[in-house]
Amino acid sequence: MAENQYTEENIRSLDWKEHIRLRPGMYIGKLGDGSAADDGIYILVKEVVDNCIDEFVMGNGKRIDIKIKDGKVSIRDYGRGIPLGKLVDCVSQINTGGKYDSKAFKKSVGLNGVGTKAVNALSAHFMVYSVRDGQKKRAVFVRGEIIEDAQIEKTDEKNGTYVEFVPDEKVFKKFNFKTVYLEKMIWNYCYLNRGLTIKFNGESFKSENGLKDLLENNMDGDPLYPIIHLEGTDIEVAFTHGKTYGEDYYSFVNGQHTTQGGTHQSAFRESVAKVIKDFFGKNYESSDIRQSIVAAIAVKVIEPVFESQTKTKLGSQEIEPGGKSMRAFVNDFLKEKLDNFLHRNPDVVDTLEKKIKQSEKERKELSGIRKIARERAKKANLHNKKLRDCRVHLTDAKNERREETTLFITEGDSASGSITKSRDVNTQAVFSLRGKPLNSYGLTKKVVYENEEFNLIQAALDIEDDMDNLRYNKIVVATDADVDGMHIRMLLLTFFLQFFPDLVKRNHVYILETPLFRVRNKKKTIYCYTDQERADAITELGKNAEITRFKGLGEISPDEFKNFIGEDMKLEPVMLTKEASIETILSYFMGKNTQERQEFIINNLRNEDNLKPEDFEEELKVDKAS
């Protein structure tokens, strides 16, 4: 056996752009195709906008222009502009930037001098120019390699920095920007920076009331009492209680949306419960106080420490190096501001205490049922009847690889069998449904524990007590592309929205898209997701091509299924818009038959060439009876 050679020739040094392109995950997290809010293409946009926000925070420029079309992103701020002599270095030299000077950027979003360089290295086209006091300098790069370093010229443009880039399709395969994710990101910037105007593709975004606006625009339904909005030095808080289950938090550090929370969010959860207990002088359970809470917290931290380059979770234990602990800082603030508010607003106090007592009553009623349900879930897990887990949860005790994990919820044993044989056993798990789930709309949480399917799904996800315990980053509904499959999909989504809406709000729920057709000849196979794709495939391969219509997931062989749940897996995220509340959506689709739903069915039937409403009288009668 030949020995493995390890000599000086094996040692290699990469330049900045080679390292970023070789290990992009270290700089922007996962790559993705744009179907998830934390996919890399959105991190690229965020890295550039973060620099614009820092300029605004320092008092320079009140507007940011963002345009995204056909994969090209352009961002212009009206701050001071990058110093012209250092323009190229600032976008192409790691550890070069103005944020190492804590006087200039005391509470900046980005401190590592990496963000814009990562955008540059991962873009097929990257152009930057800076305007300062009538002078302008421009530079152009391709995948981090400079191809144009223009001379400084005179200009009439306003001061500021312009960045234009196109994500590299060699890195981000078949990517597509989703407007809903971009608008949510932009709104968050505005909520945290009152007075700032962001123009996105011609539409203006601006907030006058900060986190109060955030809750008003994102709450599902009306709050139980007016939003409590509290502000102090380096901290802003807004919260109320709603009518849905769970706890819903929006947390931010130095303008950065910490989607995974961190020390500041934990401090708020702990402190808000403590202050309310002390106010009432009663030892209420913290979970009863926080049940159905909707809250936002934003803090400013000197030299923040995040747990990754994408800055989704704050790790700082102190508000500033050597300063007060994060827990003490948040608690002291709420102890003063919230306690004062409660003393001055007796109507809010009455409503709040009624809500706490209601949660307490429901918890006690469920306690016995929950104990029995846990035992059933443990037995089912032991027999491995429903859940085929992934190896990450067997080897990663600290759950540090949770972001890589996916749970497929499948329809029946045949579909689960195909996926189980095709999956990546390290990161992909499978949960097999038995028949159609119960329509849970309008039911209480008691049904979650009494219904075997719902109880086992909840146990598999580990979300009974705390959403932060969620075992899988992606929950993928994988049902057949037929009427029964669509019905099962709706029943599952009703369950999640009714009892665990945070799963959807935090972008954890997806629909698996699998091909409807396979068109092939002896030389090539094309999988088609629409009738138009099928027609195009037939044109390409010829009319004698073999055409297969997949009626169910179980009909797709495991070897083929690998193509659909691997790197090129097509997922459609389940997203909520602020235009419609969960109650409105569920009552329309899953409640007792309404006139609006009948009219929708009839109107859409009329759009079909060969169908008439009277052909579906029996179905409409069944719908009305339901």
Helix (H) or strand (E) holding 376: helix 346-383
Using CA atoms, how far residue 196 sits from 77, 180, 193, 228, 431, in Å, is 11, 20, 6, 23, 46
Using CA atoms, how far residue 175 sits from 18, 32, 35, 72, 272, in Å, is 22, 8, 8, 11, 41
* Domain 16-205 class, CATH top level: alpha beta
For 236, the token pair is: 């802003």
Give the 3-state secondary structure of 490-559.
HHHHHHHHHHCHHHHHCCCEEEEECCCEEEECCCCEEEECCHHHHHHHHHHHCCCCEEEECCCHHHCCHH
Average pLDDT, the chain: 84
- The least confident of 22-31, 116-125, 241-250, 303-312 is 303-312
Greater confidence (105 vs 104) lies with 105
- Choosing among 3.40.50.300, 3.90.79.10, 3.40.50.670, 3.20.20.140, the CATH entry for 384-514+563-582 is 3.40.50.670
The tens digit of pLDDT for each residue in 39-57 reads 899 999 999 998 898 888 8
pLDDT at residue 420 is higher than 80: yes
Give the pLDDT band of residue 390 (cuts 50, 70, 90).
confident
Dihedral (C-alpha) 482, 483, 489, 491: value to the nearest 10 degrees? Answer: -160
The pLDDT of residue 620: 43
Residue ranges per structural domain of the chain: 16-205, 211-361, 384-514+563-582, 517-549, 592-626
For 377, the token pair is: 């879930």
Q: Measured between alpha carbons, how far apart are the two ends of the chain, in Å?
A: 73
The pLDDT of residue 396: 59
* Mean per-residue pLDDT, 105-113: 53
The tens digit of pLDDT for each residue in 136-152 reads 999 999 999 999 999 99
Sign of the Cα pseudo-torsion (471, 475, 479, 484, in order): positive
Greater confidence (342 vs 373) lies with 342
The pLDDT of residue 59: 85
Cβ atoms within 10 Å of 89's Cβ, excluding its own: 13
Residues in the chain: 626
Which residues, listed in sequence order, are joined to residue 295 by a DSSP beta bridge?
239, 249
Q: What value, to the nearest 5°, has the Cα angle with vertex 514 and ends 511 and 517?
A: 150
Report the range out of 293-297, 388-392, 454-458, 564-568 with the highest average pLDDT.
293-297
The tens digit of pLDDT for each residue in 546-598 reads 999 887 787 788 888 888 888 778 888 888 776 667 877 887 788 776 677 77
pLDDT at residue 267 is higher than 90: yes
Give the pLDDT band of residue 626 (cuts 50, 70, 90).
very low
Nearest to 292 by CA among 254, 230, 244: 244
- The least confident of 267-271, 469-473, 571-575, 601-605 is 601-605
The tens digit of pLDDT for each residue in 474-490 reads 999 988 877 888 889 99
* Mean per-residue pLDDT, 592-617: 62
- CATH architecture of the domain covering 211-361: 2-Layer Sandwich (3.30)
- Burial readout 144-171 (b: 16 or more C-beta within 10 A, e: otherwise): beeeeeeeeeeeeeebbbbbbbbbbeeb
The pTM assigned to this predicted structure is 0.78
The pLDDT of residue 8: 60
